[in-house]
């Protein structure tokens, strides 16, 4: 088994795969400056008072609450969203099964150096001098091939859960996107690429399974470094263990308190552009834990790869000129791959009035 692992590692290029489960101390390569130091980069505030908004989707005023949350935070949590509890339990178990596999098995499904799908560190890790305390598994389209490599005799269970989860998430993402766009006066006619029924048929979607193993020195480690998502919206499920933090302008990092069976919705860069900056994409990161293995599942919902995304005319006038040029998701992801957090400013035309 040990030789299978070293053979696999030898055949993989400089890509960094870390077996966290064997480490008793935090290696220097993973030691960030204590994450608590920058809890409040804007000075001292009463952090307890600030809570990410929670929206009950069965509330008739949900749309207004969502609009307010998107304008002020770029993130909110939802309850009563209609995703079956059983499915959330299933996806959590599927993550546990995957990440608890021995390293040599996970490496069979390793992401290729220039690839996008499979097992490996977060793609943004290459932009940071220190390594992240996390591992991920990215799914575009069908997970069948990778699932076969991971569980040669029992891969269908994983595929079925992923298939069902993606289907439910797609419907929820469509509904949420309209709940977010409607208060800005944006309708189906304004978003040609959303299709005649506004069903976002050609939308791009990916599923990112994240694992944050227990860490011997959590205050000096970083699970996932600060980033915005390059999506329209992201729907995040976390396994009831705190770790996700969002940056609230003027306050600092605020922890998103897990709500059992709740989901967190992030505004991504594509929605930021479409809304002409009215809905800012949220900067977020994930911390790690001494005793509890945290898992999260991000459904990354975007426009079709080749659709031109630009500020929608309904939110543009002479007082509010377009702040961003049109860009396709394909072009934007290429810019992110090269320039990471500078990508949004690279498509920016001017500063707001």
Ligand X SMILES: C=C1C[C@]23C[C@@]1(O)CC[C@H]2[C@@]12CCC[C@@](C)(C(=O)O1)[C@H]2[C@@H]3C(=O)O
265 neighbors 279 (Cβ within 8 angstroms): no
Q: Which does 124 bind (CB under 5 to 8 A by kind): ligand AKG, Fe ion, ligand X, none?
A: ligand X
For residue 327, give the DSSP letter. B
Query: Residue 300, interface with ligand X (CB under 6 A)?
Result: yes
Stretch of 8-16, 188-196, 227-235, 240-248 lying at the interface with ligand X (CB under 6 A): 227-235
Helix (H) or strand (E) holding 12: none
Give contact residues for ligand AKG (rule: CB under 6 A): 208, 210, 224, 229, 234, 236, 238, 243-244, 284, 286, 296, 298
126 interacts with ligand X by CB under 6 A = no
135 binds Fe ion (CB under 5 A): no
Instruction: Measure the CA–CA gap between 304 and 231, rounded to whole angstroms.
Output: 11
Catalytic residue among 105, 220, 248, 294: 294
Torsion of CA 344, 76, 206, 83, to 10 degrees: -170
294 a catalytic residue: yes
Instruction: Kindly compute the dihedral angle of the four CA atoms of residues 254, 256, 257, 261, in this order, to the nearest 10 degrees.
Output: 170
With contact defined as beta carbons under 8 Å apart, do 295 and 288 qualify?
A: no
| Under rule CB under 5 A, residue 269 binds Fe ion | no
Binding segment toward ligand X, per CB under 6 A, in 46-54, 120-128, 192-200, 276-284 = 120-128
* Strand order across the beta sheet in which 75-79 lies: 54-56, 75-79, 263-267, 233-238, 294-302, 204-212, 135-139, 118-120
User: Which residue among 78, 122, 147, 254 contacts ligand X (CB under 6 A)?
Assistant: 122
Pick from ligand X, ligand AKG, Fe ion, none: which does 244 bind, CB < 5 to 8 A by kind? Answer: ligand AKG
The total of other beta-carbon atoms located within 10 Å of residue 2's CB is 7
Binding residue for ligand X, selected from 116, 126, 142, 313, defined by CB under 6 A? 116
Which residues belong to the active site? 294
The contact set with ligand X (CB under 6 A) reads 116, 122-124, 138, 206, 208, 227, 229-231, 298, 300, 336
């Amino acid at each position: 088994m040990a030789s299978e692992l070293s053979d696999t590692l030898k055949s993989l290029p400089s890509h960094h795969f870390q077996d966290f489960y064997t480490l008793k101390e935090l290696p220097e390569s993973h030691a960030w400056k204590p994450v608590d130091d920058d809890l409040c980069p804007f000075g001292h505030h009463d952090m307890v008072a600030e809570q990410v908004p929670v929206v009950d989707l069965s509330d008739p005023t949900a749309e207004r609450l969502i609009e307010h949350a998107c304008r002020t935070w770029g993130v909110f949590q939802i309850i009563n969203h209609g995703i079956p509890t059983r499915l959330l339990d299933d996806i959590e178990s599927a993550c546990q099964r995957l990440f608890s596999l021995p390293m040599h098995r996970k490496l069979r499904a390793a992401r290729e150096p220039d690839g996008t799908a499979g097992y490996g560190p977060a793609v943004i890790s290459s932009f940071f001098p220190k390594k992240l305390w996390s591992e991920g598994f990215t799914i575009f389209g069908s997970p069948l091939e990778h699932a076969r490599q991971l569980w040669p005799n029992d891969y269908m269970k994983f595929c079925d859960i992923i298939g069902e989860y993606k289907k439910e998430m797609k419907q929820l993402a469509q509904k949420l996107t309209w709940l977010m766009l409607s208060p800005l006066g944006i309708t189906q006619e304004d978003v040609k690429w959303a299709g005649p029924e506004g069903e976002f048929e050609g939308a791009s979607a990916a599923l990112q399974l994240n694992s944050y193993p227990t860490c011997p020195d959590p205050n000096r480690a970083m699970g996932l470094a600060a980033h915005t998502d390059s999506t329209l919206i992201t729907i995040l499920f976390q396994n009831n263990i705190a770790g996700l933090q969002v940056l609230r302008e003027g306050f600092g990092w605020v922890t998103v308190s897990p709500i059992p069976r709740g989901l967190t919705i992030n505004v991504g860069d594509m929605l930021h552009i479409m809304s002409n900056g009215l809905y800012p994409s949220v900067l977020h990161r994930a911390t790690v834990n001494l005793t509890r293995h945290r898992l999260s599942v991000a459904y990354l919902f975007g426009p079709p790869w080749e659709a031109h995304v630009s500020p929608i005319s309904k939110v543009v006038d002479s007082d509010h000129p377009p702040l961003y040029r049109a860009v396709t998701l394909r072009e934007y992801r290429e810019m992110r791959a090269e320039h990471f957090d500078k990508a949004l400013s690279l498509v920016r035309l001017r500063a707001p009035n």
